[in-house]
Amino acid sequence: MKKIKGSCFGFILVSILHVIPAIAQDSLWNSFTDISKIRLVKPISKNISSAYISKNNTPETGYSGLTFIPGLKHTKNIPNSFVTKKLLLKFYLCNSSDSTASVYFFPGFYYREIKLYRVEGSVVRMIPPILPALSDSLGYRLISLAPHDSTLLLAELIFVKTYINTARPRLIHPEYVDSFIAEVRSNHNEDTLVTYVFCGLLLMMILFSLANFSQGGNPEFLYYSGYAFFIGAMLLTKAMYNLRSTHLNFFLEGYLDFILQGLGIMFYMIFMQKFLATRSTHPFLHRLYNTGIILLATSVMAYTLLHYLTDNYQAEYGVELITKILLLVMIVIFLAYSLQRWNDKLLRFLFWGNLLLLIFSVLSQIFSMTRPNFKGVLPIFNSALFYYEVGLFLELVLFLMGLNYKNRKQIIEQTKERETLKAENKLKEYEKEIAVYKAQQAERERISADMHDELGSGMTAIRLMSEIARNKMKENTPIEIEKISSSADDVLNKMNAIIWSMNIGNDSLDNLIYYIRTYALEYFENTPVQCKVNNPAKIAETELTGDKRRNLFLAVKETLNNTLKHSGASTVTIDITVNHRLLIKIADNGSGINLEKLRQFGNGLKNMARRMESIGGSFTIENNQGTLTTLELPL
């Protein structure tokens, strides 16, 4: 042991003699780190000196006037004003073993360029970059020392443009480097798992929104799917590549994260305009979201130009920070606006969603900038991303509640509109039918009036003149004149019946019963048949169309005609009853009807059955100590 210590001291003494110009500013407090004794990982933050230099300054051009300070100037996040500078680390290594020893130098995660130099007197020689055989090993550089060798090393580091840069230099044994990388990943497994679950929820929302858009064509669902896609892409790439030393992770962390978030929020604002119909219902919110969209578009363009065309990271970060602050202000304005319209239930759902998103977004930003490490809690509760995802999840739940409320409200409104439209269509149909009915009634009245005035007077004149001729001729009256008189009388009766059925003033049940009673009594007045009519004393007012009246009356008339001509009856009784139906029974005391000897194609009874069927009624005829005819019509 004493021999080894003596050897290291000898290495230190010899090295000091060789590199006195290089270490004059280090005050000899720096100590050599023996890499042969590193078994796993060794932090060297206390064994280094550091300085920030311009990117244009290189070891080849010299470090004139450069002052190193002991340790690290910034032990937490690197300030924005230093992100675009080079960080120069100086440290001493030795190998006290009898064989070549190697370690991997790992300064931290977000360094897009790492160069190692070995200082030998006044000569500065770059060490070839040798990386582990892993896909995410850009942050590691192999250092090898010969047996009993010592050296002064310079590490030239260029940061990725991000506000979460840190400097935590470590030396890792080559056989442990794979385990070290795996351990770093495993420390964030819970956070990554939660992110994957949340991205799965966002994927479901994307599919749900696209399905709703394809079915209903509502553009707000398309915009919401865009919002979910960009936010999900940001979170998914963060979970997949977080704390990995790859060019893709540097690109995501340094540039793309803010772009994805900005595009997602732009889609969200357009979605809110469509979802709330702000142009017509909330003009103030419509103007507010238009302002937000213009702000985000301008910020994304300015951020891109500053990132790729300048080296002014402070301005670039300022664009991002100011944009986020203004977005938070917009959320506060939305919350205040929603409070003023608390009766709007849809706004209440969005109010709580935005409030929770605001709270957890602020909490996430605080954790991202301060990087706390609470002891005794699960690592996930120290993650800034976790709190942002919680806010997004709660906002998503409340949005779904609001969507359900809006859909239910729309279904009710659409149902009302359909019922109203159906009622309006029915009303139009009824009005059309009424107009047709009125036109038909007017035509019926015109025809009945013309028949009464023209044909009625003519037939009455024929009948009167035939009576005069018969009286003048007395016993020598030709039989043709008798037939003319009889036919004129018959035609006149039929015409009166037709006129009666066509007159809309007679479209009532009591009028029909009264007309049947009058006709029957007059029909049998000068015959050997005695007629009796039994009808209700009081008949409720019931409308009965002319078609029904006419067919009923003609059926009664046909029955009375058959009774007079064929029954041989001396009495006929007509019983009329009314309740939910009209029932007319015509019975005589004649010889009855022989149903078996009826002519197969006789038209009289067939016509009666057809007439009653056409108006929804029924007709029956039977023997019952004479003939019983029953006519029935539902009312």
Give the whole-number percent of the chain exceeding pLDDT 90: 35
- pLDDT on residue 475: 66
The tens digit of pLDDT for each residue in 155-190 reads 999 999 998 889 999 999 999 998 888 888 776 677
- 271 to 85, 173, 290, 348, 594: CA distances (angstroms): 42, 53, 12, 17, 85
The answer on pLDDT for 377 being more than 60 is yes
For residue 562, what are the contacts with CB-CB under 8 A and spacing of at least 6?
Answer: 604, 627
Architecture per CATH, 189-422: Up-down Bundle (1.20)
**Cβ pair 35, 143 in contact under 8 A:** yes
Does 154 score more than 60 pLDDT? yes
Residue-wise pLDDT tens digits, 210-237: 888 887 767 888 898 999 999 999 999 9
* The predicted structure's pLDDT at residue 157: 94
Q: Give the model confidence (pLDDT) of 115-133 as tens digits.
A: 999 988 778 889 999 998 8
* Domain covering 2-185, topology: Jelly Rolls (2.60.120)
- In sign, the C-alpha dihedral spanning 14, 18, 23, 24 is positive
- Quote the pTM value: 0.63
Cα 247 to Cα 112: distance, rounded to the nearest angstrom: 7
The per-residue pLDDT for range 323-343, each reduced to its tens digit, is 999 998 999 999 999 999 998
**Residue type at 579 in one-letter notation:** N
Write b or e for each residue in 298-323: b if 16 or more Cβ atoms lie within 10 A of its Cβ, otherwise e.
ebbebbeebbeeeeebeebbebbeeb
Q: How confident is the model at residue 549 (pLDDT cuts 50, 70, 90)?
A: confident
In this predicted model, which residue has the larger pLDDT, 33 or 498? 33
Q: Is the pLDDT of residue 27 over 70?
A: no
Q: pLDDT tens digit string along 304-313?
A: 999 999 989 9
Q: What is the pLDDT of residues 65-85, one digit of tens each?
A: 678 899 999 888 899 989 999
Checking if the pLDDT of 9 tops 50, the result is no
Equal fold, 2-185 vs 189-422:
no
Residue 597's pLDDT is what?
67
Token pair listed for 79: 């300030």
For residue 68, which of 23, 113, 105 has the smallest C-alpha distance?
Answer: 23
Integer Cα distance of 340 and 336 in angstroms: 7
What whole-number distance in Å separates Cα of residue 148 and Cα of residue 93? 11
- Is residue 129 within 8 A of residue 63, CB to CB? The reply is no
Give the C-alpha separation, 24 to 463, whole Å: 153
Q: Which SS3 state, helix, strand or coil, does residue 406 take?
A: helix
Of 1, 18, 9, 6, nearest to 151 by C-alpha is 18
Signed CA dihedral, 234, 240, 245, 248: sign only: negative
**Strand-pair category, 101-106 with 141-145:** antiparallel
Could you please state the CATH topology (level 3) that the domain comprising 507-635 is classified under. Answer: Heat Shock Protein 90 (3.30.565)
Give the residue-averaged pLDDT of 132-151. Answer: 88
Show me where the domains of the chain are located.
2-185, 189-422, 507-635
Give per-residue pLDDT as tens, 238-247.
888 888 888 8
